[in-house]
Amino acid sequence: MTHSYATFLGEDVAADALASERARCVAAFVKARPELGATLTATKRHERGYDVLVMDVAADVPQRPVHPIRDVEPIAVVFGDDNQSPMVFALRQDFPQAPHTNDMPDGAPIALCLYRDGWSEVRLNWTPGTLVQKIRWWLEETAMGALYGEAHQIEPLFFAPNINLTVARDVFEECFAPGAEPGRLVARLAGDDVAQVWVLQRTTDQDPFLKSAPVVDVTFAEACTPVIADGRVRQAPGELSELIKMMSGLGFDLAAQLRAQLKALMGNEACQQNRFALMLAARLATPGDPFNQLLCFISSCTVEETAIALGEYAKAEDGGPAAYLLQNRDHSKIGEGIDITSANVAIAIDPREAAMLSGKPLDARKIALAGAGALGSALFDIYTRQGFGQWTTIDKDHLLTHNLARHALHRGLLGASKARGLASLSAAVLGEKHKASHLEADLADPGDKTDPLRTTLDEAELIIDATASAAAARVLAVDPAKARRASLFLLGDAKAIVVLIEDAERKARLDDLEATLVAHAIEDPRLAEQLAELPTQIATPASCRAPTSRAPWSRIVTLSGIAAEYLRLALDSTEAAIKVFRWRADDGIDAITIRAAGFTETMLGEWRVRVSNNLLADLRIRRIKALPSETGGVLIGATDAWNKVIHIAAHTSDFTDSVGTPVSFERGLEGMPDKLKHIATATHGALAYVGEWHSHPEGASAAPSGTDYIQLAGLANMLLIDDRPAVSLIVASDDERVLLGRHFQPSDAKHASA
């Protein structure tokens, strides 16, 4: 194939005379392996010191290619500095301006963008063979319109700009909306001069994180290009006239648009001496709808100087301070002398942008977070960066020195309330507009914060408990707010995390789920082991009642991340859920899944007895299996004396010396002490004996007999030492009956609740 890039390619030399070792290796490889589809046609050396290999590369292209790639393309591979990637050029004069090609100076062929990664990464696995294969792959994929896949179909209009400009979504929509009045904006330099990150704000915006940043007053013109289909990546212009010429080559009269807008801007004296800037929406062709790439060009020149450089205005001959509008405009001027620096434009992180970047759906539900300690702060930090929720944090504690070892907050907030500190964290990530609310209150004892706490819980759509406080969790379990609830807490020295999630109808409350969790440990030694592992506590100067534990932030963050991900997935379901994620030093993370079910509540006087529906289902099956005889056993549960709630979550019924007949049941004692000891050990004392259950025969109701009352009296007297009521549960064919007994004589059956 013929081509006419002689000046670019240089002079012919022998392959063994090439200066670059890589060039010599590729030449030898191509000669030795013609079956791989490349034929070496020339070896050259340019006077500027680079070596060139010219080869014909064969490609398998479809009959109707998306881009007109031919079966054989002449290719030049240029080898310069060994610390830089070889450059690959298409030598055909009419080679298409396809995506992933780079703009080159006049007289140079089109460059192919062969690698997505930098040379420091590519060179680790680079060989002559991989180079040839990569060139063929580029040609074939480009012919099919599939190069780099969907995520990389869009090439930027210009190479990496010098500045990154960030603008809040509301500022952009307000200031750059069609017909918006030209307003005064300021660009603040965030970070250092190397990063060159500018934040565009209104003059009235107050951002505590940028209050000391240098300020530049800017006024923007705006333009939108027609669809640009060639896919080239261009060198960014350094002068306005270069940009205007470039746009003119694409069929777009940028100069005319700027002149019209500058005339309006010059009518506003407040804008005239501001630095000129241009917000350009470049409409880039894609397989679907065009993609709008936002680009900004900032000049060190003023709006007035730009208007003069475009031939619309002139300075008064007497040197007066103001420019005047020319009657005979000089449109031969196209912005010569007006320097411009290109900037990428990014919408500032807000919940919508954070959700998109996290690959999550935007979810703006109102969330109340109780507990802003280590776990609460980790969850809040994770969810804030996902754009998940509108938050109110609740905690009365303040950030102390020892907290910094495992907390999302930093030293600058020492002494601040943790709840307020997390609100500040959300503002630092998402901006002041999306700052979380906070409430400095104790959930279990809110005092003068009772009313705002009531409002917060009532308005919430989701309540998350991260307090690690049984008292707080119980308060939330019985609170009348309608929101669904979840509770997360760490076990031991952050060796495991528990996630409890209520069902959407709250038939399984947090306290029910906690009882179910602990009951599972009776049969599952993995959970029993975890519950038995107490945190290693050390004293702090704060108080003898405020020890802290030795738990590394690495495990807290790891487990929090896994739990946070699971919680969001579980909230998509209406069902209750219980999950325990365990950190295993040698095996990573494993999970224990526990079947969650609702509880049935019976109100007996001032006490509430809540019985697991899973448990009731098991007892019904045991009754049927025992027919025609009665059967029974021991009820295992937890008694909350303060809130007057008894949870019955388990039973033990397989006593070999029990005796059942069609009209009676006498529970045996064989092995009972060992069973109760095992339950106490496995549940770490959380569950204990609370009473008895027995069945009634077929045809009989669950109404208690005189014998049942006598048994209840005995149970009540036995539990008197703990000042706990006794529970008796009767299971019949069609119903169940719960009895509650306090200390009384057998003849005083009126004292029994049924």
Average per-residue pLDDT in the chain?
A: 88
pLDDT at 9: 86
436-455: average pLDDT: 95
* Cα-based angle 388, 391, 397 (whole degrees, multiple of 5): 130
**Interacting residues of 583 by C-beta distance below 8 A, sequence separation 6+:** 494, 495, 496, 555, 558, 559, 589
How crowded is residue 148: how many other Cβ atoms within 10 Å of its Cβ?
16
- Yes or no: say if 110 and 98 are a contact pair by the CB < 8 Å rule: no
Exposure class string for 701-736: b at 16+ Cβ within 10 A, else e: ebebeeebbebbbebbbebeeeebbbbbbbbbbeeb
Distance of CA 136 to the CA centre of its chain: 38
User: Stretch 370-394: mean pLDDT, rounded?
Assistant: 98
Instruction: Name, in order, each residue with C-beta under 8 angstroms of 169's C-beta and a sequence gap of 6 or more.
Output: 347, 348, 350, 352, 353
- CATH class of the structural domain 353-594: alpha beta
Provide the H-helix boundaries in 112-221.
Answer: 119-122, 128-144, 169-175
Strands 462-465 and 363-370: parallel
Question: Cα separation of 675 and 658, whole Å?
Answer: 15
Give the CATH number of domain 599-751. Answer: 3.40.140.10
- 183 pLDDT above the threshold of 60: no
pLDDT higher than 60, residue 747: no
- Could you please report the per-residue DSSP string of 232-263? EEBPPPSBHHHHHHHHHHTT--HHHHHHHHHH
Which of helix, strand or coil describes residue 277?
strand
Band of residue 233 on the pLDDT scale cut at 50, 70, 90: confident
Any residues with CB less than 8 A from the CB of 230 and at least 6 apart, and which?
97, 98
pLDDT of residue 188: 77
Instruction: Give which of 469, 494, 496, 498 is closest to 486, Cα–Cα.
Output: 498
Q: How confident is the model at residue 752 (pLDDT cuts 50, 70, 90)?
A: very low
Paired tokens of 375: 């776990």
Asked if pLDDT for residue 117 goes beyond 90, the answer is no
Which pLDDT score is estimated for 8?
80
Nearest to 209 by CA among 107, 330, 322, 348: 348
**Strands, DSSP E only, in 382-541?**
388-394, 437-439, 462-465, 484-491, 496-501, 537-540
pLDDT at 291 over 80: no
Cα distances (Å, whole numbers) of residue 624 to 617, 697, 703: 11, 9, 18
Query: Given pLDDT bands bounded at 50, 70 and 90, which one contains residue 512?
Result: very high
Stretch 404-430: mean pLDDT: 95
Give yes or no for a cis peptide into 541 (omega within 30° of 0): no
Q: How far is it, in rounded angstroms, from Cα 560 to Cα 171?
A: 34
For 338-352, what is the HEC assignment? CECEEEEEEECCCHH
Lookup: tokens for 174: 């307000």
CB 80 within 8 A of CB 50: yes
Which tokens hold the place of 697?
Answer: 């025969």
Distance between CA 557 and CA 316 in Å, rounded? 66
Report how far residue 630's alpha carbon sits from residue 624's, in angstroms, rounded to the nearest whole number. Answer: 9
87-101: average pLDDT: 88
Q: How many other CB atoms are found less than 10 A from the CB of residue 742?
A: 20
Is 489 in a helix, a strand, or coil?
A: strand
How many distinct helices (H) and strands (E) make up the chain?
A: 20, 36
Write out pLDDT tens, residues 60-84. 999 999 889 999 999 999 998 888 8
pLDDT at residue 137 above 60?
yes
Half-sphere exposure of 170 (CA within 13 A, CB side): 9
**Residue 418, C-beta contacts closer than 8 angstroms, at least 6 positions apart:** 372, 373, 376, 377, 393, 395, 397, 398, 399, 403, 407, 409
103-107, 540-544, 620-624: least confidently modelled range:
540-544
State what percent of residues in the chain have pLDDT above 70. 89
CB 549 within 8 A of CB 537: yes
54: β partners:
42, 76
Whose structure tokens read 């487990």?
A: 559
How many Cα atoms within 13 Å fall on the side-chain side of residue 673?
0
Other beta carbons within 10 angstroms of residue 140's beta carbon come to: 18
Q: How would you write 572-632 as a 3-class SS string?
A: CCCCCEEEEEEEECCCEEEEEEECCCCEEEEEECCEEEEEEHHHHHHHHHHHHHHCCCCCE
Phi, psi of 188, rounded to the nearest 5 degrees: -105, 135
Q: Looking up tokens 């915006």, which residue turns up?
A: 205
Report DSSP state, residue 356. Answer: H
Q: What is the pLDDT of residues 461-495, one digit of tens each?
A: 999 999 999 889 999 999 999 999 999 999 999 99
Torsions phi, psi for 75 (to 5 deg): -130, 140
* Maximum pairwise Cα distance, the chain: 121
Backbone angles phi, psi at 653, to 5 degrees: -135, -5
User: What amino acid occupies position 568?
Assistant: R
Residue of 207, 166, 215 lying closest to 189 (CA atoms)? 215
Q: What is the mean pLDDT of residues 610-622?
A: 96
Q: How far apart are CA 142 and CA 144, in angstroms?
A: 5
| DSSP string over 56-108 | EEE----SS-SS---SEEEEEEEE--TTSPPEEEE--TT----SSEE---TTS
For the segment 188-205, what is each residue's pLDDT rounded down to a tens digit? 777 666 657 888 888 777
Segments in 403-469 forming alpha helices (H): 418-430, 450-459
For strands 72-79 and 51-58, give the pairing.
Answer: antiparallel
Per-residue tokens: 158: 């210009």
